[in-house]
């Protein structure tokens, strides 16, 4: 992989467009987790320190493309930045495609890229307009690096200089460390609702991990191989694929579960064995014996990869499995790497971010990198680098 890094380019006085990942949860205009913003700040601060004209762009949520939707505006993020950069002049721009005026050492936060028609279609016209905003484009949104969109990929075709930011490089280096020569035993924890979206990553990790622990709807699909699991979230069409994975790899599924009859915040939990689950009940967390078994595995691990909660952690009565596993990882001496939006929420909930070796801001990108796929944004940076040296 040969790409330019922001630290290798003279950006003083230049218009530097940074594609960050500021896709954070916002409720009623209030940011619920600033993990991705904090991860994006080092690159932005570096550009300010070098007296660049700094332009920051990001998507937020999934609005209807080309249409302004207040709940998906980056205005709350702009307000957040004003509190961080108290000695820096900061602008907010929702009308920037024909150009933006900025002085050195100033920051402009652009409105949601997905309000621009053609963003998700990787429109050449929109990509050109983005490229005209800057002298240097910095791709620093690892969480969006698996998407072929105008602000993450198409711009590289038209801008003269494209390079990686500090976050993107750190992400790649940490993930490579976990995958290439991991200290053993190596354990992967894969949670979430759908085994179908994580089939490839389970297969990839099965080849390099000593143990895979599955949780959430994914674990339920594995349990459905042998048991009737009531109305638990699972994918009947992928039971056969799950069985093939179980035959190939050391996959740990829950031996008991916390179940409820209603999917609601204050539903009471009951611990049951898989063959005792009734038709009107659903699995929503690990049971105590499953938790004990997994804690023992994690305590012996030297490398831990964690993607996704193992239960409905948003509900107090179905949080125990995720909480104990999260805190066990945090207190472990293993090299731990965690990724995924829900995983970041768990880390914030239990205040353990300082105890995880590396926290990836990516969800889909995290998984695709783990699968061994070439991320489109990395390909774009490699191609742009070739243009720079010819």
Query: What amino acid positions are annotated as catalytic residues?
Result: 36, 194, 341, 364
**Strands of the 282-286 sheet, one edge to the other:** 270-272, 257-260, 282-286
**Strands of the 53-57 sheet, one edge to the other:** 90-93, 107-110, 53-57, 15-19, 136-139, 161-164
Q: Between the CA of residue 339 and those of 175, 205, 234, 266, 309, what are the distances in Å?
A: 10, 14, 22, 28, 11
What DSSP character marks residue 80? Answer: H
- Residue 340 labeled ligand binder: yes
Q: Among 160, 106, 111, 118, which Cα is nearest to 136's?
A: 160
- Residue 114 labeled ligand binder: yes
- The DSSP annotation for 242-287 comes to HHHHHHHS-EE--SSEEEESS-STT---EEE-GGG--TT-EEEEE-
- Residue 342 labeled ligand binder: yes
**Strand stretches in the chain, DSSP E:** 15-19, 26-27, 30-31, 53-57, 90-93, 107-110, 136-139, 161-164, 186-190, 211-214, 251-252, 257-260, 270-272, 282-286, 303-307, 335-339, 358-360
Residue 163 has phi, psi (to 5 degrees) of -145, 170
Q: Among 126, 119, 124, which Cα is nearest to 141's?
A: 119
- Residue 375 labeled ligand binder: no
- Please answer whether residues 370 and 179 qualify as being in contact, where contact means their C-beta atoms are separated by less than 8 angstroms: yes
- Residue 314 labeled ligand binder: yes
- Residue 381 labeled ligand binder: no
- Residue 62 labeled ligand binder: yes
- Residue 36 labeled ligand binder: yes
- Residue 167 labeled ligand binder: no
3-state secondary structure of 31: strand
Q: Is 196 exposed, middle or buried (0-12, 13-18, 19+ CB in 10 A)?
A: middle
- Residue 61 labeled ligand binder: yes
Rounded CA-CA distance 13/104 in Å is: 6
- The DSSP annotation for 277-319 comes to --TT-EEEEE-HHHHHHHHHHHHT-SEEEEES-SS-TTSGGG-
- Residue 198 labeled ligand binder: yes
Binding residue positions for (2R)-3-phosphoglycerate: 36, 114, 147
Binding residue positions: 21-23, 36, 59-62, 114, 147, 198, 314, 340-343
Binding residue positions for substrate: 21-23, 36, 59-62, 114, 147
Binding residue positions for ATP: 198, 314, 340-343
């Amino acid at each position: 992989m040969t790409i330019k890094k922001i630290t290798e380019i003279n950006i003083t006085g230049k218009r530097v467009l940074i594609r960050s990942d500021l896709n954070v949860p916002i409720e009623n205009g209030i940011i619920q987790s600033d993990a991705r913003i904090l991860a994006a700040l080092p690159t932005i601060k570096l550009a300010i320190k070098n007296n660049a004209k700094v332009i920051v762009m990001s998507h937020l949520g999934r609005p209807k493309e080309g249409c302004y939707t207040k709940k998906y505006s980056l205005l709350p993020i702009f307000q957040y930045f004003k509190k961080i950069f108290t000695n820096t002049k900061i602008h907010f721009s929702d009308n920037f495609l024909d150009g933006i005026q900025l002085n050195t050492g100033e920051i402009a936060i652009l409105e949601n890229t997905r309000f621009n028609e053609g963003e998700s279609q990787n429109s050449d016209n929109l990509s050109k307009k983005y490229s005209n905003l800057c002298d240097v484009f910095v791709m620093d949104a690892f969480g969006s690096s698996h998407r072929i969109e105008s602000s993450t990929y198409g711009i590289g075709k038209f801008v003269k200089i494209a390079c990686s930011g500090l976050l993107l490089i750190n992400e790649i280096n940490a993930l490579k460390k976990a995958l290439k020569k991991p200290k053993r035993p190596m354990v992967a924890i894969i949670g979430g609702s759908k085994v179908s979206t994580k089939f490839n990553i389970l297969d990839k990790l099965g080849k390099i991990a000593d143990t895979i622990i599955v949780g959430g709807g994914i674990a339920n699909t594995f349990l459905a191989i042998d048991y009737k699991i009531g109305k638990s979230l699972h994918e009947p069409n992928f039971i056969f694929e799950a069985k093939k994975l179980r035959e190939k790899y050391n996959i740990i599924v829950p031996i008991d579960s916390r179940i409820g009859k209603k999917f609601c915040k204050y539903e009471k939990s009951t611990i049951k064995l898989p063959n005792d689950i009734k038709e009107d009940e659903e699995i929503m967390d690990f049971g105590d014996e499953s938790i004990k078994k997994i804690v023992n595995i994690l305590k012996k691990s030297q490398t831990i990869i964690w993607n996704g909660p193992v239960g409905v952690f948003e509900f107090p009565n179905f949080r125990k499995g995720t909480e104990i596993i999260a805190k066990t990882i945090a207190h472990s001496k293993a090299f731990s790497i965690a990724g995924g939006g829900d995983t970041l929420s768990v880390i914030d909930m239990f205040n353990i971010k300082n105890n995880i070796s590396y926290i990836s801001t990516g969800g889909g990108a995290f998984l695709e990198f783990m699968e061994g796929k070439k991320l489109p944004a990395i390909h774009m940076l490699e191609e742009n680098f070739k243009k720079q040296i010819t």
